[in-house]
Structure 1
Amino acid sequence: MISFILPLFGRFHPILVHLPIGFVVFGVILIFWAGKKYSLYSPIIQLAFLLGGISAGFASVSGFLQYQGEGYGWDTVKFHLILGILTTLLSLGLWYHLKNSASTPAKLKIKGALLLVILTLTGHLGGNITHGEDYFTEVLPPELQSFLGGESSGNEPLELPADNWEEVEFYTGAIQPILDQNCKSCHNPNKLKGELDLSSFQGIHKGGEDGAILEGENAEKSALFARMVLPEDHDDHMPPKDKRQPRKEEIELIKAWIESGSPENAKLGETEISVSLLEPFFKKNEIPFYPVVEVAKLPQDSISKLRDEGFFAEIVKKDSPLLKISCINFPGFSDSDWQMLQSAKDQIVYLDLTGTAISDAILEQIATLPNLTVLKLNETAIDGSGLEKLVENKNLKLLYINNTQVTIDKLSTLDGHPMLEKVFAFESPAADAASSAQFSFYLETGNFSLPPLPTDTIVY
């Protein structure tokens, strides 16, 4: 009935370890602080090391109990435990030494500093056990991790190549990455919870304290799969509900692996797995809409100045230097106002001059925007004279000339533009003559009409 007491005390280890840290650090600080007033601070220093030694002893005992009950490997905890016991003995030894000294003991600062170093090493090893050896380095950029001698860490979702997925090994290329992301933190050689190691093919097939976790080609009877699909509040559900849960597609992939015989070296193309199970994991090579360029961020006060002058100005996405500029609230914008945008010349990728007082002359200035991707000239007085200058905008993808006087001949000067994908020319002379023109870009002219429906002729 009371068998739970020792395991429960072991669970208090993460709490108890903070007590000796606080007491010992406080005692060492007082040693350096006291100076010639040591006799005044001596009782407090002694008490700090006494409490530090006692609490370190309790922490060591609770840590040992946690090691026994939580499935940690001895090689993982032994140095942490040894240093914890050493911290206990040194702290109590220093207390006893100070208690029996009539004056300031010789080299007291060195002894205090040594105890602090051992305490730091003990805490560092404990942090490695709890969070992993890469706890501090995993947040660093991959290049810096490599420079420090570590392996680049990552916890990215499983991705498979869409073109040659057949060549990917089922276990090493698909199953183990899923287990690494969702299960390895508790089931690895250093922390064998339930005596189960899910970090290797051999460990998976060996099973744990409850026996095998794979039952032939029967996923429903294999604990590896069956416990994942239990309700999250079920006692046997794995991973525990407070841990990261695998996606439904990942669980289905594990099921397919088991039902294919849980092979080690078989490739996906050699199994009967359905492509539909793999599609959620195919890499998607997304091409960014706006150019990927290195330009300086426009200072916030410069953006604020643009807004004060009447422009709508915002960045295209968080932490991006690229800007969207619109004159929706600045209908009086004209050719002579262009200098207002000069400060943002390199950052503008989206420019909306709809309904403004510009003329064709401004096209020469627009052509100087190196990263312009979207240009809207709707409802302006332009007729397309000088439209060929936009060939200089090498990143221009979308051009809007709705409700303008641009003709098809003027528009043809953009034929062959390296990046231009689509031109919108609703209610313009270009739209009227579009049927006889073929361009390298798609010309959208509007004038859509819906086919008549039988219900349109029903008389009620």
Structure 2
Amino acid sequence: MILLQASDWAAFIGRFHPVLVHLPIGFLILAGLLEIGRLANKIEVKESTITFILFWSAIGATLSCIAGYLLSLGGGYEASLLEQHKWQGIWVAVAAWVAWVAKSDILSGKIPFANLLYLPALAVGAIFTMLAGHQGGSLTHGEGYLTQETPEPFRGWLGMEPKQEKGSDEIKPIDDVNNAMVFQDVVNPILKARCVQCHNANKSKGDLRMDQIELLKKGGENGPIFVVGKGEESELIKRCLLPLEDENHMPPKGKTQLSDHQVAILSWWIDQGAPFDKKVAELKTTEAIKPALAALSGSSSSAGSSALTTTSTESPVLSLKVPVPDAKAVEALKKAGLLVMPIANQSNLLEVNAVNVNSLTDAQIALLEPLKEQIIWLKLGDTKISDQAATTVAKLKNLQKLHLENTAITDATVRQLKSLPYLEYLNLVNTQVTDTGIKELSAAKSLRSLHVWQSKVTETGVAALKQAKPDAEVTLGINEQQIAEFIKAGETAPKPEETKKK
């Protein structure tokens, strides 16, 4: 009773069930084969040898039943399937003990007709071993796991449904991403390929099922797994971004992991309100998500891809040949919580996004330096960085797009960025940058798009920059005077009914 009440101990011992369960399987099969060989006069084996094997088979089956029961206390398994598996395991243990008793010299002489029970018990044990193994596979890997790969013509003879094509649950290319249903065609295939295996009708780890929309919304034993509109606060995203060694990381270590693109898509879907009935084109496609959506088409040059990207294909940075990114450097960024994604299939050029790491500091920015050739898109908006980060950012010599909105950076940062040869897009919204700072950008030869709304920049500063760079698009936003004039115009405009009277 003390053991059952100590949940940590129960969980610890229970996890040895997969190890212990192989003991009775191996011993019972070995005993059966030896018995068949002996009866057929093919081998010579002592009775005591078979008795010894049967004894440890019974011990192994009993220990396996105990461990299996403790494992089941953790929940997450389909009740009826679990009940069947439990009793099949118990019958294996009973049959193993009966076979041992019938074969044992110690007890067989004291129990009348004990020898008549031996072969039936051995056969029953073998049959229930196979049945329990089948149900155990279904509990762990999904219903019908052991038989789902049955080849033809046996499937037809047994009345089984035709075999599904291999990889039918994997994500398939989408011809027209913009017109795809965002959940059914984009999000759900990711969940089916990476999550539903452990969260379905037969196996619902953490009382979470992801095979039906209503159950996905409901969440698991700890509540909902996503917070509508807040991907970075959603448990679904947090679990995916944990270090692989963390026991709470999902999918668990050893399972096929979600790619950075897939994590980005799930986070974007949640940020956009987690809709179940909208198309991709109906949602806001941010710069950060466009590469991930483009990759769904299976080709970065497809029509779907070109419709989702606003970056000109003429940009020289996109044709750069750079070395393969250092795997350790990429992993270090991921452990810090940043998303690291290639901008297109089979490309060494990278996008790094801190959308899920609002607490990112200047010290962590140093992690970017080993990838200074590969990073061309960098989003550091809404983080804790300051001008101290500029030294490292300025070393990213191939940087094309840079987001610094809602940070504490000042003119000092802009001064270091002006020499970046490929910098085309710069977002400085809600920063401390002034007219003096953007004046430095006159020397930024590739700059095409600058956003300085809610910063310290004035119309005078924008006009001076536009004079130096007439082709650059500068977004300053609407100032207070313009807002007042707009409101006043609305108040003095003739009402529709007044127009009709005239």
Q: Which TM-score applies when normalising by structure 1?
A: 0.54
State the AA in 2 paired with 1:152: Q
Partner Cα distance (1:285, 1:143) in 2: 41
Structure 1 residues 42 and 241, CA, compared in 2 at 3 Å: closer, same or farther?
Answer: closer
Q: What are the superposed Cα offsets for residues 191-241 of structure 1, whole Å, 9 maximum, x if unpaired?
A: 222222122212221111211112121111111123323343455432234
Q: Which moved more, 1:209-218 or 1:45-54?
A: 45-54
Among 79, 82, 88, the alignment partner of 1:83 is 88
Pair 1:29-2:44 in alignment: no
8 Å CA contact 2:102–2:117 kept in 1: the answer is no
* Map of 1:250 onto structure 2: 262
* Map of 1:6 onto structure 2: 10
Q: What are the superposed Cα offsets for residues 388-425 of structure 1, whole Å, 9 maximum, x if unpaired?
A: xxxxxxxxxxxxxxxxxxxxxxxxxxxxxxxxxxxxxx
Counting only pairs closer than 5 Å after superposition, residues 405-444 of structure 1 correspond to structure 2 as: none
State the AA in 1 paired with 2:226: L
Partner Cα distance (1:270, 1:142) in 2: 45
SS in 2 for 1:117: helix
* Map of 2:194 onto structure 1: 182
* Map of 1:61 onto structure 2: 66
Structure 1 residues 277 and 144, CA, compared in 2 at 3 Å: closer, same or farther?
Answer: farther
Structure 1 residues 236 and 122, CA, compared in 2 at 3 Å: closer, same or farther?
Answer: closer
Q: What are the superposed Cα offsets for residues 83-128 of structure 1, whole Å, 9 maximum, x if unpaired?
A: 1001111221222233444588347545433321222222222223
Q: Which moved more, 1:147-156 or 1:271-280?
A: 147-156
Partner Cα distance (1:250, 1:226) in 2: 14
8 Å CA contact 1:197–1:204 kept in 2: the answer is yes
8 Å CA contact 1:196–1:208 kept in 2: the answer is yes
Structure 1 residues 247 and 271, CA, compared in 2 at 3 Å: closer, same or farther?
Answer: same
Structure 1 residues 62 and 153, CA, compared in 2 at 3 Å: closer, same or farther?
Answer: farther
Equivalent residues, number: 285
Structure 1 residues 119 and 136, CA, compared in 2 at 3 Å: closer, same or farther?
Answer: closer
Partner Cα distance (1:132, 1:213) in 2: 22
Partner Cα distance (2:88, 2:193) in 1: 31
Q: CA deviation at 1:177?
A: 0.9
8 Å CA contact 2:294–2:300 kept in 1: the answer is no
* Map of 1:237 onto structure 2: 249
Pair 1:105-2:115 in alignment: yes
8 Å CA contact 2:194–2:256 kept in 1: the answer is yes
Structure 1 residues 254 and 154, CA, compared in 2 at 3 Å: closer, same or farther?
Answer: farther
SS in 1 for 2:73: helix
Counting only pairs closer than 5 Å after superposition, residues 274-285 of structure 1 correspond to structure 2 as: 276-284=291-299
* Map of 2:212 onto structure 1: 200
Q: Which TM-score applies when normalising by structure 2?
A: 0.50
Partner Cα distance (2:85, 2:62) in 1: 13
State the AA in 2 paired with 1:224: L
* Map of 2:279 onto structure 1: 267
Partner Cα distance (1:50, 1:6) in 2: 26
RMSD: 3.5
Structure 1 residues 105 and 226, CA, compared in 2 at 3 Å: closer, same or farther?
Answer: closer
Q: CA deviation at 1:186?
A: 2.1
Pair 1:44-2:16 in alignment: no
Q: What are structure 2's unaligned runs of at least 5 residues?
A: 302-502
Q: What are the superposed Cα offsets for residues 345-381 of structure 1, whole Å, 9 maximum, x if unpaired?
A: xxxxxxxxxxxxxxxxxxxxxxxxxxxxxxxxxxxxx
* Map of 1:429 onto structure 2: none
Q: Which moved more, 1:215-224 or 1:22-31?
A: 22-31
Greater Rg by CA: 1
